[in-house]
């Protein structure tokens, strides 16, 4: 359970990256790193495995913000998440349980909850967080690599400059909300028909704008990527819980 609790806290801290499309300011970077290290110490304690994970945690935050070119910011942030998830998968059995885990289990028991039920809740919460910021990083990276960002009317079609920030930020919020809604539907009922309704509603809301080819490609690719990522995360976590 503690591994999932650590992961939920770490992913929650990364929600601070959602609205930041540039490298973090030094003060904010340090604050975020301190918060993540304190959470690591609280949930995983000190051991060879957990210290190795702490090193990866530091690298996952510092490398994208300071060591790599800004043009690769989203790609590097996403790679950091993948490295952390893979590392947790291999180190989970070697990570020690902190001394207060027993007290936590007793507290849950007094509330009528088991550690198994709490772990299941943490796993589903992990998916909820993954489809927010981490999925956003993947889609933003995809847009960047294929020059699909919405441009201002006067901008050159293939120009990386003059991105329509208002439309781009609106798309970010809409994307996060639609992924959360799809994820909740998949978690609660695995009803894929509702996902079709969500996509149709989005297309109806932007019907007139879809007459522009560039905008239509931006919306279509973003929507399909959001849907595939959300389904992939939900089904992956469902298979973990089924083991």
For residue range 151-199, list pLDDT tens digits in order. 776 655 555 557 777 777 888 888 898 899 889 888 887 777 777 777 7
Report, as an integer, the average pLDDT of 191-214.
Answer: 69
Query: 102 and 172, same structural domain?
Result: no
Whether residue 180 is contained in a domain is answered as yes
Whether residue 132 is contained in a domain is answered as no
End position of a domain, from candidates 112, 129, 161: 112
Whether residue 34 is contained in a domain is answered as yes
C-beta separation of 218 from 150 below 8 A: yes
Count structural domains, the chain: 2
CA dist 227 to 111, 127, 163, 190, 207, Å?
36, 14, 24, 13, 19
Query: 103 and 34, same structural domain?
Result: yes
Whether residue 48 is contained in a domain is answered as yes
Report, as an integer, the average pLDDT of 64-81.
Answer: 92
Query: 152 and 105, same structural domain?
Result: no
pLDDT value at residue 209: 59
Query: 168 and 107, same structural domain?
Result: no
End position of a domain, from candidates 68, 94, 112: 112
Whether residue 119 is contained in a domain is answered as no
* DSSP states along 127-140: HHHIIIIIHHHHHH
**Can you tell me the distance from the alpha carbon of 184 to that of 113, in angstroms, rounded to the nearest whole number?**
22
The H or E element spanning position 11 is: helix 2-13
Whether residue 117 is contained in a domain is answered as no
Residues 6+ apart with CB under 8 A from 16: 28, 32
Task: Give the range of the structural domain holding residue 194, as residue numbers without chain letter.
Answer: 146-242
Query: 164 and 94, same structural domain?
Result: no
Whether residue 101 is contained in a domain is answered as yes
Whether residue 17 is contained in a domain is answered as yes
End position of a domain, from candidates 92, 112, 132: 112
Query: 102 and 152, same structural domain?
Result: no
Statement: residue 66 has pLDDT above 80: yes
Question: Please, which pLDDT band fits residue 201 given cuts at 50, 70 and 90?
Answer: confident
Q: How many CA atoms lie within 13 A of 99 on its CB side?
A: 1
- Written in H, E and C, the secondary structure of 43-76 is HHCCCHHHHHHHHHHHHHHHHHHHHCCHHHHHHH
Query: 154 and 93, same structural domain?
Result: no
Q: pTM (2 decimals)?
A: 0.87
């Amino acid at each position: 359970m503690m591994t999932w609790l650590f992961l939920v806290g770490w992913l929650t801290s990364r929600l601070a990256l959602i609205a930041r499309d540039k490298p973090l300011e030094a003060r904010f970077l340090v604050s975020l790193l301190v918060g993540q290290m304190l959470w690591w110490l609280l949930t995983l304690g000190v051991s060879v495995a957990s210290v190795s994970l702490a090193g990866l945690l530091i690298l996952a935050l510092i490398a994208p913000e300071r060591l790599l070119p800004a043009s690769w910011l989203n790609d590097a942030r996403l790679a950091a998440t993948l490295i952390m998830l893979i590392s947790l998968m291999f180190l989970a059995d070697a990570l020690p349980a902190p001394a207060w885990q027993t007290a936590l289990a007793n507290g849950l028991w007094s509330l009528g909850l088991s550690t198994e039920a709490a772990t299941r809740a943490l796993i589903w919460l992990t998916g909820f967080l993954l489809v927010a910021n981490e999925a956003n990083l993947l889609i933003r990276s995809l847009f960047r690599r294929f020059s699909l960002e919405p441009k201002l009317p006067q901008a050159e079609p293939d120009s990386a400059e003059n991105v329509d920030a208002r439309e781009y930020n609106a798309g970010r919020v809409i994307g996060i909300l639609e992924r959360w809604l799809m994820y909740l539907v998949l978690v609660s009922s695995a009803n894929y028909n509702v996902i079709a309704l969500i996509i149709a509603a989005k297309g109806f809301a932007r019907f007139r704008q879809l007459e522009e080819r560039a905008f239509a490609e931006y919306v279509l690719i973003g929507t399909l990527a959001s849907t595939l990522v959300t389904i992939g995360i939900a089904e992956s976590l469902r298979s973990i819980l089924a083991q």
